[in-house]
Every structure is written in C-alpha cells, then in structure tokens.
Amino acid sequence: MTLQYEFFKKISLFQDLEENEIQQVVDRTTPRDFPAGAVILREGETGDSLFVMCQGEVEITKALTLVLDEDTPREKVMIRLRALDGVCFGEMALLENEARSATVTALSDCSLLELSRQEFLDLVRENPEMGLKLVLNLAQLLSRHLRKSNQDVIKLTTALAIALEGKS
C-alpha cells in the first residue's frame, strides 16, 4: 500500500515525523481491510495495536452501563471518523495491555494499517529520536482525550445536578 507523506502528516501521531521516519512506521504496519458493517475492535476485548485509517468511515460506540428498559439502546454512538480527516484509533493499546475502551465498526468498506504494540516499541528503541517524537505525540493525543472526557464529565454532572434540583 503506497501512501503519501502528506496524508500521514495530517495524523497527529505522525505530524512531526520526517518522510523517511513515516516510511519506517509504514514498513512496520500490516494492511487490513474490513467490509462495511464489520466490527474492527470490540469494547472489553484486549487489544495490542493501533489502526491508521487510509480509506473509509467508522463509528465508535460505547456500551451503556445503565439500561432502563428494552427500548433503550445498549450502545451510545460517541463519534464517527473518516479517513480523509487523518485519523487513527486504538492508540491506548500501544502503551498498555488492557481491554479496549470502545467498539469500532466500519460504516463503509475500510482500508487500515495496523501497528502492533511490539512493532511500535521496536521502532522507539531502534530510533530514539523518532521514538521521542512518537511518544510525545501519543502523550499529547491521550492528554486531549482525557481533557475532553473531563469536560464531558463536568457537563453531565452539571446536567444531572440541574435535573435533580428540578425534582426537589
């Protein structure tokens, strides 16, 4: 799969890498194709890789922890991602061997590049300068996710407090 340098520069994880460094990353990936409707990652399953979207669109959902009746959807759509926007997902799996935090489903036929945790760690060890760029970008990406989650918790807590005050 031949990918353009400019395509990878749009992806925050790779934004500081030189062309030859991006090629090193691409050389360590495995191309993966998923048809529309296929589950790419399932919430709760252990994951050990990141996916770079090259083509297609996916939907990320999370299971609801409280289901009040049969009419309540069991999953909440969190976000939709398009390859054209320069995105990747599954980045937490590069750092930890934990359960996936969400389900990712292909909305259209998708072409992805899979980078395993082991390949990522090998890249970091073999090229410390490039590794530092990758790890800093990964930390910034995860920090943005955490900041957004904190903002969402504040909004939900505020909405709950207002709703409960109205019931008193």
Contact 41, 90 (CB under 8 A): yes
On whether the 5-167 domain is CATH 2.60.120.10, my answer is yes
Cα dihedral: 120, 12, 106, 27 (round 10):
-40
Q: 28-68 pLDDT, tens per residue?
A: 999 999 999 999 999 999 999 999 999 999 999 988 765 55
Give me the residue spans of the domains in the chain. Answer: 5-167
pLDDT (tens digit, 9 = 90+) per residue, 89-127? 999 888 888 899 899 999 999 999 999 999 999 999 999
> Distance between CA atoms of 112 and 23, rounded to whole angstroms?
16
Q: Is the pTM of this model over 0.85?
A: no
Q: Using N-to-C axis directions, what is the helix angle for 117-126 and 128-167, rounded to 10°?
A: 130
CB atoms inside a 10 Å sphere around CB 17: 20
